[in-house]
Amino acid sequence: MQLEFLQQALRDRGISGWLFCDLHHRDPIAYRVLGLPEELFATRRWYYLIPASGDPVKLVHHIESRQLDKLPGNRKTYSSWRELLQQLEAMLAPMSTIAMQYSPNNQLPMLSLVDAGTVELIRSFGKQVISSAELVQRFEASWSAAALYCHLEAGKRIDRIITATFEEIGRRVRGSAATDEYAIQQFILEQFRHEKLVTRWPPLVAANQNTSNPHYLPVPADAAPIRAGDFVLLDVWGKL
């Protein structure tokens, strides 16, 4: 975690502090920004406040009191619900505007990770909750030199795969062997393995009327055949 840069960003934007909170890994952004391990055992709510100036403050349940020990700052613990409210209100007392993973009107659903009840709770302390969108963009969404290289290199490999795929389609339709959407999709996935690319979902391969479905994915049982003269759409994504 880059505490000095985080605090400077808060001061530049006139924000009193950035409050992180989580339970059962609901907020992956918090873990990445703070540099917390993904396997952190989190069965009780924890809070971490980064003020614009001064030392951060951790609020953890006494059962998991060492949960945030890897982070700098003063540690406070709670046991009961009432104690949680008291401690949270006290640690936020110097704050006026607090950034959280919240998006007004849910305009950015990938950022809107703090539940409405928690936002209501912070507001009940007389605090203004604002979106952490600009902060997240600065510290989580910015590419490093290595990330930019991986992005550009993955693009080159995917370009090669797409070129090879259309060449393979041409070879098959000109030959005697029949082919279909699913077979071409599997060809692409084999090229992914060869190029050492990974993907969460398989590529879209659609022929003729199936191209009108933006999220069409062929399955063996009803994959459309691909013949000479057919219109074929490929939508391919992947990363290193």
- Is the Cβ–Cβ distance between 177 and 170 less than 8 Å? no
Which of 212, 194, 190, 213 shows the shortest CA–CA distance to 202? 190
pLDDT in tens, the chain (240 residues): 789 999 999 999 999 999 999 999 999 999 999 999 988 888 999 999 999 999 999 999 999 999 999 999 999 999 999 999 999 999 999 999 999 999 999 999 999 999 999 999 999 999 999 999 999 999 988 888 999 999 999 999 999 999 999 999 999 999 877 899 999 999 999 999 999 999 999 999 999 999 999 999 999 999 999 999 999 999 999 999
pLDDT of residue 170: 95
Query: 130: which 2 tokens?
Result: 């604002």
**Domains of the chain, start order:** 3-139 (3.40.350.10), 145-235 (no CATH)
pLDDT of residue 177: 79
- Is the Cβ–Cβ distance between 14 and 49 less than 8 Å? no
- DSSP secondary structure string, 45-103? -EEEEEESSS--EEEEEGGGTTTTTTS-SEEEEE-SHHHHHHHHHHHTTT-SEEEES--
| Whole-number Å distance between alpha carbons of 212 and 208 | 8
CA distances from 69 to 64, 76, 218 (A): 10, 11, 49
Token pair 């013949």 is at which residue? 227
pLDDT of residue 183: 97
Which of 210, 212, 237 shows the shortest CA–CA distance to 222? 210
pLDDT of residue 41: 85
| Whole-number Å distance between alpha carbons of 170 and 186 | 16
